[in-house]
Amino acid sequence: MANGEFLEFEDVSKYFGRIRAVDGVSLSVRKGEFFSLLGPSGCGKTTLLRILAGFERPDTGRVLLNGRDITALPPHERKVNTIFQSYALFPHLTVRENIAFGLRIEKRPKKEIAEEVERMLVLIQMEDQAEKYPDKISGGQKQRVAIARALIKKPQVLLLDEPLAALDLKLRQRMLMELDLIHDEVGITFLYVTHDQGEAMSLSDRIAVMNGGIIEQVGTPGEIYEAPRSSFVAAFIGDTNFFEGRVAEVVGGEYSRLVIDGFPEVLCFNDKHISVGNPVYLSIRPEKFHISREKPETGNRHNVVQARVEDVIYQGLMTRYWVRSGEYRISVARQHSRFLLDETPIRWDEDVWISWHADDGYMLERYSESDEKLVSLPPENIGEVNGEGNGAA
Amino acid sequence: MKNRRSVLEILVTLPSALWLAIFFLVPTVVVMAIAFKPTNPYGGVGTGWTVATWLSLGNPSYPAILWRTLWLSLLTTAASIVFAVPVGYYLARIRKRWRQFLLLLIIVPFWTSFLIRIFAWKVLLHPDGFIKKGLVFLHLAGDGASLLYNPWAVLLVMIYSYVPFAVLPIYAAAERFDFQLIEAARDLGAKQWQSFLKVFLPGIRRGLLTAVLMVFIPALGSYLIPDLVGGPDSEMIGNKIAQRVFVDRNLPHASALSSLLTLAVLLPMTVVLFLPGRRGRPDLMAGEGK
C-alpha cells in the first residue's frame, strides 16, 4: 500500500462474455476524498463500483481497502455501503425501519439502534416523516433516506451510483448541495459514479474519466477541464473544437507552430514537448475565443483568424456563434454584452475575426482509437455528444 | 359528470355481480337452507325446519375426519409453498426464453384430465410398480407395505396436484419484485438467507397469501384424491359429503357438512380482510397499489 492511499484498484478487469467492461484499471483514492468516476454509459464505471461493493468479482486484479485485500469478500462483510440509483428502499418498512435495517442485521442493542436512527433522521431532516412508508414520500426524501440508511453503517467508503439521475433539475441542484454538506459533515470517502460532468465537476475533489473500460485521466476538475490528457476527455468534459494538424516548428521552447489542413497556421502551447512532424489534435474550448468585427490588436502569443458567421444561437447565459474559417466550422461561446451602448450584436453572415491566446489551445497526441472516432465526427455531432452532460450542468 | 361515471361503473360491474349472485351466492344460501330441513324417505327434502341435522354432526366420526381434512390441507399448503417459493424465485431470475419454457412445463399437466393424472399416480404407486420395487430393493420399504390407500399417498398426490397453484402466484409476485432490494440488503450487511427472509419474502407477501388461499381452499374440499388413492383411514370431509348424497341420499346432512366447510373457509378470510393493517402500510389484501 502506497502512503496515504486508502482505496486501491490494482489492474482490475471484468469481462462480460467478450465485452471488456473494465479493462486493467488501476486507481487510488485517498481517505476522505470525494472521488468521481465519470464517463458515458457503458464505460465501465458502474461495474467498477459494483466490484468495490462486492456484487461483481473481477476477472483479474485486486481491490484493497485500508491495506486489506477485499477482492474475495462477500458484500455483507465489506465496510462499504451503496446508494443505489433507484434508492432500493424496502417498501414494506417505514423510513425509520429502513434506516435501522443495517444495525438490526448486526443485532445491535435496541436502545443504541433507536439513538443512531434518531441522529440520522435529524441529519437528513426527516424526523416528522419517520413513520411513513417509502411510497408516501417524495423522490428527494427517498434519496435522503437512502443516504441515511447507508451512513448509519459508518462505512469506510460510501458508494453513490448516479444518485441524482432520477430527480428533476431543481431537486438535483438542491441534493447536489446537500451531498456536499453531508460529505463535509461525515468526512468519509465518497466514490461517486455519474455520466453528468456538471455533477462531477461541482462535487469532486478528483475525477477519473472513464471510457471503454479504461481510465483516460485522473485529476482535479480544473486539471481535467483545462488540461485534458486525451481528445476523449477534451470532448467529453465541456465542448471543444478539434483541429487536425502537425507540429511544424518549435518556437521558444514551450510553444509550437502547427500546420493545419484547410486552416491558417497557429501558435500553440506545447508543454508535452511533442516533437516536430508529429500528428496532433488541437483542442480549443468555445469560450476561449474572442470574436470581433475589427481585427483585434493582440500580442505575439495570440492567434488571429478571419471567419464568417454561419449561425448565432442565443442561449441565455451566453451566445453561441458557429463561424466558418477555411474547412472548419468553429463553435465560439461569448457572454453577450447587448447592454453596452457602443456594441451592436454580431449577426449571421457577417465577416468577423476570432482570436485566442496560444496558451488556451491544447495539443493532444493522436494515438487511441477512441480519439480517432471522436475527432472524425463533424463538430456539430460532438456538440450533441456533450449535449446530455451540458443540459444538466 | 361524476354522476355519469358512477352510473357507467354500475353498468359495467352489473353482469359479473349478477353472475356471482345467481350462480354463487344463491346456491350457497340454498345449500345452507337445506341443512335446516328434515330429510324424507325418497332422498329429497321434507317440509318444515329442524336443527336435528346440525346436532347429528356431533357424531364421533366427524371430529376425526375434520381434523384429518385440516392437517392434510395444512400440510399440503405448507409443502406447496416451501416448494413453490424457490421455484418462483428462480423463474423470475432466469433468462426469459428459459422462463417461458419452464412455465409451459408447469402448465402442461393441466392439459390432461385431473382424473387421469390421479390414476397415473395409482399406477406409479402400485404394489407392482417400479417405485415400490425400487424401495423394496433399497430396503426402504417392506415387501408387504403399501404405498397406496393411506393418508400419506393422499398427501403426496395432493401436493403434486396443488403445487402449480402455488407456483403461479408466487412467480407472478417474484417477477414484479425488485431484485436490487436484495443487493441493498446484502450491502447493508445481510447474509444471503437474511436478505431472502427479511426482504424477498415480505416483498412477495401478496403472492404468498394468494398461493395459500389457492392451495388451502381447494385442498379442504378434496374429494377425488382421497377417494382414489386413499383408504378407509384417509377419508376427508369431501368424501363424507359425497357419501351422504350418493349413498345415504341424505341431502340435509350433506348440506350441513358443506356449510360447515364453507364457513370454515369464509370466517378466517373475513377476519384477515377486515383486520386493521398498520397505518399507511401498503395493504396486504388491496390491489396492486402504486
pLDDT in tens, A89-135: 999 999 999 999 999 999 999 999 999 999 999 888 899 999 999 99
Q: What is the pLDDT of residue A296?
A: 87
Between CA B195 and CA B177 the distance in angstroms is: 13
Let me know if residue B63 belongs to a domain. Answer: yes
Cβ-proximal residues to A219 (8 Å cutoff; 6+ apart), any chain: A206, A207, A227, A229
Cβ burial A372-381 (10 Å sphere, 16+ → b, else e) = eebbeeebee
Local confidence band at B282 (pLDDT 50, 70, 90 cut-offs): low
Q: Which residue of B has its CA nearest to A106?
A: B189
Task: Answer for the pair A226, A237: CB distance below 8 angstroms, yes or no.
Answer: no
pLDDT tens per residue across span B1-47: 556 778 888 888 999 999 999 999 999 999 999 999 888 878 788 88
Let me know if residue B53 belongs to a domain. Answer: no
Let me know if residue B229 belongs to a domain. Answer: yes
Q: What is the pLDDT of residue A30?
A: 93
How distant, in Å, are the alpha carbons of A74, A81, A87, A152, B281 from that of A146?
Answer: 21, 10, 6, 10, 19
User: Does ipTM surpass 0.90 in this model?
Assistant: no
Nearest-CB residue to B189 (from A53, A89, A102): A102
Q: What is the pLDDT of residue A2?
A: 45
DSSP state of B275: S
Q: Do A55 and B183 touch (CB under 8 A)?
A: yes
A58 CB-side CA count, 13 A: 30
Let me know if residue B78 belongs to a domain. Answer: yes
Q: Do A84 and B205 touch (CB under 8 A)?
A: no
Local confidence band at B280 (pLDDT 50, 70, 90 cut-offs): low
Q: Which residue of A has its CA nearest to B283?
A: A92
Mean residue pLDDT of chain B comes to 87
Q: Note the pTM of the prediction, 2 decimals.
A: 0.78
* CATH code for the domain of B94: 1.10.3720.10
DSSP state of B157: H
CA distance B264 to chain A (A): 30
On the question of pLDDT at B286 being above 80, the answer is: no
* Average pLDDT estimate for B186-195: 94
pLDDT tens per residue across span A300-355: 889 999 999 999 998 888 889 999 998 899 999 988 655 555 567 888 888 999 99
CA distance A47 to chain B (A): 14
Q: How many domains does chain B have?
A: 1
- Per-residue pLDDT for chain A (393 aa), expressed as one digit of tens each? 444 679 999 999 999 988 889 999 999 999 999 999 999 988 999 999 999 999 999 999 999 999 899 999 999 999 999 999 889 999 999 999 999 999 999 999 999 999 999 999 988 889 999 999 999 999 889 989 999 999 999 899 999 999 888 778 888 888 888 888 888 888 889 999 999 888 899 889 999 999 999 999 999 999 999 888 888 898 888 888 999 888 988 887 788 999 998 888 899 988 778 888 888 889 999 999 999 888 888 788 899 999 999 999 988 888 899 999 988 999 999 886 555 555 678 888 889 999 999 988 888 887 644 444 454 444 443 333 333 333 333
On the question of pLDDT at B111 being above 50, the answer is: yes
Let me know if residue B270 belongs to a domain. Answer: no
Q: Do B187 and A131 touch (CB under 8 A)?
A: no
Chain A positions touching B281 (Cβ under 8 A) are 92, 133
Local confidence band at B144 (pLDDT 50, 70, 90 cut-offs): confident
Between CA A26 and CA B178 the distance in angstroms is: 33
* Average pLDDT estimate for B182-205: 94
Let me know if residue B54 belongs to a domain. Answer: no
Choose among A1, A47, A15, A23: nearest CA to A159. Answer: A47
Q: Do A135 and B281 touch (CB under 8 A)?
A: no
Let me know if residue B288 belongs to a domain. Answer: no
Between CA B262 and CA B32 the distance in angstroms is: 10
Q: What is the pLDDT of residue A341?
A: 54
Q: How far is CA A33 from the centre of its chain?
A: 15
Q: What is the pLDDT of residue A392?
A: 34
On the question of pLDDT at B171 being above 80, the answer is: yes
B→A interface, C-beta within 8 Å: 178, 180-181, 183-191, 194, 198-199, 202-203, 205, 279-282, 289-290
Let me know if residue B44 belongs to a domain. Answer: no
A131 contacts chain B (CB < 8 A): yes
B122 lies in which domain range? 59-248
Q: What is the pLDDT of residue A390?
A: 37
Grid cell locating A155: 462505512
Between CA A194 and CA A207 the distance in angstroms is: 10
DSSP state of B231: -
